[in-house]
Structure formats: C-alpha cells, structure tokens
Amino acid sequence: MVKEKGCRACHKVNGRGNNIAPDLTYEGDKSAESFDYSRIGGFPSAFAWHQRHFKNPKELVEDSIMPAFPMNSKDIQALSMLVMSWKKTDIPVAYLPGVETGDKPTPEELEQERKMLEGPGAIFVEKQCFVCHSISSMDVISPANIGPDLSNAVADVRSRFGRELEEFLLNPTGTMSVVLEKQIILTREEKLQLVEKLKEAYQKYLEQKEKEDKMD
Ligand code: HEC
Ligand code: HEC
C-alpha cells in the first residue's frame, strides 16, 4: 500500500522518499501522548488517531496537505498498524558480540568458594545450603544470607520450633519444606549426615563463643 499510494512522494521511510512531510521511519516510537486528540471523541490512543487521520488528515490537521486516500476501514486499520510498527529495534544485549551477559562470579568469590570446599563445612557448599545460609563457625559464608546462620541451629531449632534438628530436617516446615521438596533433594542418610555436621558446627560455635567471652 505504501508503494501503491505513493506515501514516499512526501514522506521518507527507511531513508527513501521526500522531505515534504515528517519522516515516518520511526513513526511507531512516537508516544501516544504526543498526538492531539482534541478533535477525536472516544478513547484517545495512537491507533485511534492514525485511523482518523488516514480517513481524513485535514479533519485533524487543518493545514495538512496529506490526501484523504480512498480506503476501506480494513485498509485503514492495516496501515495504522503498519506505521505504528515502524520502530527502532532495541537489539537485546545478548545479541551484541563481545558483551558479557552472564553475572559471573568474581575471582574473589571463586576463591572463597574453593576455600570453603576445602574447609570443615564443605558439605554445606556441596549441598548448596550456603546459597542461603552461612555456617560461620565453619567459615562458610553465604553470599545472600536469606536464612539464619546455622552455626547454632541445634539450639535455635529447639527454641524456635520446640523440635530436635533431626526431626526438623526430616519433616521441615516453612521455607525449608519447599527448599527440600523442590530445590535440594536429599536422602534420609544425607539429612542425618547434615544433622551430624550441624552438631559439629554447634560445638565449634560454643568453643568460639567461650574464647570470645574469655577475651572480653
Ligand atoms: C502529499 C503529501 C503526502 C502524502 C502523499 C502522504 N502524506 Fe502523510 N503526511 C503529510 C503531511 C504534510 C503530514 C503532516 C501533517 C499531518 O499530520 O497531516 C503527514 C502526516 C502523516 C502521518 C502522521 C505523522 C505524525 O506523527 O504526525 C502519518 C502516519 C502519515 N502521514 C502517513 C502517510 C502514509 C502511510 C501515506 C501513504 C498512504 C502518506 N502519509 C501519504 C503528507 C503526505
Ligand atoms: C533458598 C534458600 C535456602 C536454602 C538453599 C536452604 N535454606 Fe535452610 N532456611 C532457609 C530460610 C529462609 C530459613 C528460615 C526458616 C523459615 O523462614 O522458614 C531456613 C531455616 C533452616 C533451618 C532452621 C534454622 C533455625 O535456626 O531455625 C535449618 C536447620 C536449615 N534451614 C537447614 C538447611 C540446610 C541443611 C540446607 C541445605 C541442605 C538449607 N537449609 C538450604 C532458606 C534456605
């Protein structure tokens, strides 16, 4: 239709055409607010404006020299959709060569993870608990700290839930029930192994606390 009706006699589209009328190459980027709706009833939208404008340009822009092309309403709708689709494309950053898109861990973070994997709390890194929990008594530091430090989980679970840690991990509630159902699937043996490790962590926690208290 653009060819047939000779829009380029007045408009430039994609670098081709004339300068009598506004360049339409990026017509679709014009915001809806930039059109004048004072002569249009109904819901003010860019789509409504273009349709009315194509029907009769002079009705909206008095001094317009744009002809009212004889078109049925289907063609008017199609043309309105077409000019609204003429936009600058934002190339997603993932398509640009040489641009790093991943959020890669820093060398420091990698070094810390390597150290934690060699330390006494390695199992909490292997099982991905450290994604949300620090176990500071075993030098396991969580980047996110979404859950509580598990160094004193033995005592904390007892006081918060009135349950033993073993019971809690075998039949978890709250966030941990979702985590252990959907994210980290563990066998009963693995859970018991973690309980043993958390008891060790608690021992270390108590020893470290005692040392600190003496120093005070
Ligand atoms: C004889 C010249 C002429 C021709 C041919 C012409 N136009 Fe226009 N057009 C204009 C002028 C002048 C304006 C600015 C005044 C107005 O808005 O009516 C305009 C405005 C427009 C606008 C609104 C731009 C804006 O954002 O305000 C669109 C969209 C448009 N024309 C599309 C077309 C299409 C599509 C064709 C072909 C079917 C076409 N025109 C043919 C002269 C022309
Ligand atoms: C996606 C984050 C997430 C992961 C991964 C996660 N946890 Fe948790 N965990 C939580 C949150 C949050 C809580 C706090 C309890 C709540 O709000 O339901 C919690 C609570 C706990 C508690 C109770 C601690 C207390 O002091 O009350 C224990 C024990 C526990 N988690 C163990 C683990 C173990 C073991 C792993 C690894 C197998 C693990 N969690 C992995 C988020 C997580």
Q: Is the shortest distance between the CB of 128 and ligand 2 below 6 Å?
A: yes
Decide: 20 and 10 in contact? Cβ < 8 Å.
Answer: yes
Q: Is the shortest distance between the CB of 179 and ligand 2 below 6 Å?
A: yes
Decide: 140 and 125 in contact? Cβ < 8 Å.
Answer: yes
**Confidence (pLDDT) at 165:** 97
Name the closest-CA residue to atom 39, ligand 1: 7
What tens digit of pLDDT does each residue of 146-163 get?
A: 889 999 999 999 999 999
Q: What six digits make up the tokens of 134?
A: 């620090």
What tens digit of pLDDT does each residue of 38-48 get?
A: 999 889 999 99
Q: What six digits make up the tokens of 184?
A: 């980290």
- Alpha-carbon distance of 8 to 21, in angstroms, equals 9
Decide: 109 and 143 in contact? Cβ < 8 Å.
Answer: yes
- Alpha-carbon distance of 48 to 55, in angstroms, equals 11
Atom of ligand 2 nearest to the CA of 174: 18
Residues with CB under 6 A from ligand 1: 2, 5-7, 9-11, 20-22, 24, 27, 30, 50, 57, 61, 64-67, 69, 79, 83
Decide: 53 and 46 in contact? Cβ < 8 Å.
Answer: no
Q: Under 8 Å CB-to-CB from 60, ≥6 apart: which residues? A: 36, 39, 40, 49, 52, 53
Angle ∠(119,124,127) on CA atoms, nearest 5? 130
Query: Which residue ranges of the chain lie beneath pLDDT 70?
Result: none
**Confidence (pLDDT) at 194:** 98
**Confidence (pLDDT) at 182:** 84
Q: How far is the CA of 84 from the centre of ligand 1 (A)?
A: 13
Q: Is the shortest distance between the CB of 201 and ligand 2 below 6 Å?
A: no
**Confidence (pLDDT) at 51:** 97
**Confidence (pLDDT) at 109:** 82
What tens digit of pLDDT does each residue of 97-127 get?
A: 887 777 777 898 889 889 999 999 999 999 9
